A and B are shown apart, each in its own frame.
Chain A
């Protein structure tokens, strides 16, 4: 089991990455993330709110089938955050490889 703090940070960046592929809405984001990590709708909401508060994404509404659907859009700030995470990740990945090699994995 991943450390809770670490997992939250990872999920947050996965959300940003989902939006880097294009604007999306709540249910779609959950479905997109489901391929890599199971995130409940209730976990996603506070993350979206926090990212919105940090200026990493903006929200707009689009009419869909006679109701409003909220779309989330990645801002420049959000993209920079994601890029900085990705570059930090190279270092982490190197450590991870080192650990696995130490254990004799391929």
Chain B
């Protein structure tokens, strides 16, 4: 792929980019290819080094702020004709609650996921309390029953508690990754995949 073909492919892959931003990006890649050529590479080598236009476009779009993506998505959906504006205004009672509920759903999903983690931590904590309280209750004479049975309870609770404590950090990490993935997923809704 030579310089002109590469820039054209990049431009079409970045059609969603605001025009001013697109211009800057293309100028940046144009300059890079020219600099690489001055460095002794052929145009084909230079464009191969930059990577496939689609992959490059994906990386650049993902780095855009969400608000820019949403704006350009709305713009490209119907241009900014008077009709679109009127529809947007008249449709406000419809699309605004929809938008709010979508975000509420995402937010509640995230909260639910973390509530699971907190619930798990609470169970681990209560197991720990059981493990300590059971022998104490036995020694203090609050509890009538076989000492061996109480010792067994305490050991089981203590063991489960230790396992839980070990599982907690990776669980938190996995949950944080999941939440980040959800964030990326929301963002990718606004990145057009048209070819």
Contact = CB atoms under 8 A, between A and B. Distances in A.
A41 interface: yes
Contacts, number: 45
Interface stretch (A63-71, A74-82, A90-98): A63-71
A67 B34 contact: yes
Nearest to A66: B34
Given A26-B28, A40-B51, A46 B63 contact: yes
Nearest to B30: A67
A45 interface: yes
Interface residues of B, number: 20
A87 interface: no
Contact of B51 (A27, A42, A68): A42
B35 A27 contact: yes
Contacts of A25: 31, 35
A25 B25 CA distance: 14
Interface residues of A, number: 16
B9 to A, nearest CB: 14
Contacts of B28: 26, 45, 70
A42 B31 contact: no
A42 B27 contact: no
Interface of B: 24-25, 27-29, 31-32, 34-36, 38-39, 49-51, 55-56, 59-60, 63
Interface of A: 25-28, 40-43, 45-46, 49, 65, 67-70
- The 8 tightest CB contacts between A and B, nearest first, are A46-B63, A27-B35, A42-B56, A42-B59, A27-B32, A41-B32, A26-B32, A45-B28
